[in-house]
Amino acid sequence: MTSAERPIRTAAITTVGVPKEVKTAEHRVAMTPDGVRELERNGINVYVEAGAGEGASISDADYVAAGADIVPTAADAWSQQMVVKVKEPKPEEFQFLRDDLVLFTYLHLAAYPAVAQALIDAKTTSLAYETVQLANGALPLLAPMSEVAGRLAPQMGAHFLERHNGGRGMLMGGAPGVRPAKVVVLGAGNVGWNAAWIAAGMEAEVVLIDKNLDRLRWVDQIHRGRIMTLASNRGAIERSVADADLVIGAVLVAGGRAPVVVSEDMVRSMKQRAVIVDVAVDQGGCIETIRETTHDEPVYELHGVVHYAVGNMPGAVPHTSTYALTNATLPYLQDVAVHGPAAAARKDPAIAFGVNTVGGAVTNEPVAEFLGCDSVDPLDALS
């Protein structure tokens, strides 16, 4: 069958591929052996690339015991009807995109327009974990990695506050008679709240800033003043950032680019050797001076401030992250595979929100807005 003759994938899926991640120092894998068992139980054959789970401490033998087939190359895994991944396709993987493929992974297309263009050019049906959205606005497939990244952020910040790692030489919790580090967290969503919680547990002085007063009330009720909350406005952010030892960026716009809330002038006002951890960098970042880094080279210094901006932070703890991710994604992956993308999207509006591209069209409105293109209704496109 030629490329022009291949239909958009709408029917039930019988084969799923799990390739090894190729992003720098990305050791997570998109499915656990328990996930394989669930799909196999529904008559769906799972093909895992050899060594895909090693970084997450999951062996090929574990997958085989669960019913998976181990395939030797990435091309073998990508040749299945649906491919599940953790991170967006890298340029070396664009060759595997095609018009009868269903791809389910984190995409963050507003931050990675080249990936969006590759999916559009290949006419691939793609679903993004981060845009699957419930009626109440919750993002169930972003939540587990947001929680992991949020809990990691103070840990990474504490590490780079150490003098030999470039920081101010501060202990997060201080010492008897010595003030602790001041941590400012921008955004009180899943990332920000978890970051503030862990920083407070490390006995830092924590300020959590958000424009949602109901969310701040909830944090106050839970933490009973242990975390200071501030309503978000430019003046509050300017003053807090200038006084901070560690700033954690945790601002999210579902499907879109994160808004810049800390300007370059604010960064210049920070203490020398203070640290910034921008968890929102995989959505463009909420700090004006941020640029994405890797686990191999996680930090750089600008205006005397240490910037940490790893785009796949949960990849630092791949065993925990893989199980947390699969726990959340498996029911949705299973629905898409068992019913096919069209029927699954009609059945569950959350999955319809997750559809980002179909047949060369962008089908998620916030993503289309940030890419500067028209949006097509996902149900119409899948039909």
Please report the DSSP string for 239-256 in residue order: HHHHT-SEEEE----TTS
Whether the CA torsion 119, 120, 124, 125 is positive or negative: it is: positive
Q: What is the Cα–Cα distance from 375 to 109, expressed in whole angstroms? A: 13
Helix (H) or strand (E) holding 317: none
Please choose, from the candidates 136, 119, 138, 135, the residue with its C-alpha nearest in 3D space to the C-alpha of residue 127: 119
Count the alpha carbons within 13 Å of 79 in the hemisphere toward its beta carbon. 7
Active-site residue, from 282, 307, 339, 348 = 282
The DSSP letter of residue 162 is S
Q: Is 282 a catalytic residue?
A: yes
CB 173 within 8 A of CB 203: yes
Whether the CA torsion 210, 237, 165, 23 is positive or negative: it is: positive
Active-site residue, from 27, 108, 307, 339 = 108
> Distance of CA 121 to CAs 99, 114, 159, 284, Å?
9, 10, 42, 23
Q: What is the Cα–Cα distance from 168 to 181, expressed in whole angstroms? A: 10
Q: Which two tokens stand for residue 96?
A: 């595997």
Q: % helix / strand / coil in the chain, to the nearest 5?
A: 40, 15, 40
In the chain, where does DSSP find H-type helix?
33-41, 60-66, 74-78, 113-122, 143-161, 190-201, 213-223, 234-242, 264-268, 318-339, 341-347, 349-354, 365-371, 378-382
What 3-state class would DSSP assign to 319?
helix
Q: What is the Cα–Cα distance from 306 to 322, expressed in whole angstroms? A: 29
Taking the chain, what is the end-to-end CA distance rounded to the nearest angstrom? 21
Q: Is 108 a catalytic residue?
A: yes
Active site (catalytic) residues: 108, 282
